[in-house]
Amino acid sequence: MTIHTVVNGRPHDLDVAPHALLLDVLRDTLDLKGAKRSCDTQVCGACTVLVDGLAVSACTYLAVEADGRSVLTVEGLAEGESLHPLQRAFVEAGAVQCGFCTAGMLLTAKAMLSEHDRPTRADVLHYLRGSLCRCTGYRKIVDAVLAAAETRS
């Protein structure tokens, strides 16, 4: 099946099988390795990407569903050499340890910020529930998201 999709601002016409998962198309066809395969069951959040602004698990999302939609991966967050405010906040707060969960955390946080003008700690915690960091660095991650929200307002 041919799908037309915009990935990180760039339009693509891709020939994908009905059973192709979005994660594999991103990683193997488009060589975007930011989204990770980890639990493969929508539990951990390491494969999170945004489809039309909504966070989805790319590991359990058919690539054909991205037809006519825009996909954002962590590679599309920065503008050139200039980091996204969330990325800067993660660096400044020391919210990255091994980094495996970071792409998913950033994109989930971006979706959260698009829905909340002034998020509370509870808003962040609610939204990040289901995004797992096995280094257990949650406090700094939440601090970073709140700091990014603060910078924006």
Q: Which residues bind another protein (CB under 8 A)?
A: 1, 17-19, 21, 40-43, 45, 48, 54-57, 60-62, 64, 108, 111, 126-127, 129-131
Residue closer to another protein, measured from CB, 8 or 57: 57
Residue 114: CB atoms within 10 Å: 11
E strands along 16-134, which residues?
Answer: 48-51, 54-57, 70-72
Residue closer to another protein, measured from CB, 15 or 81: 15
Between CA 99 and CA 144 the distance in angstroms is: 14
CB of 17 to another protein, least distance (A): 7
Residue closer to another protein, measured from CB, 54 or 78: 54
Would the CA dihedral through 108, 35, 8, 24 be positive or negative?
A: negative
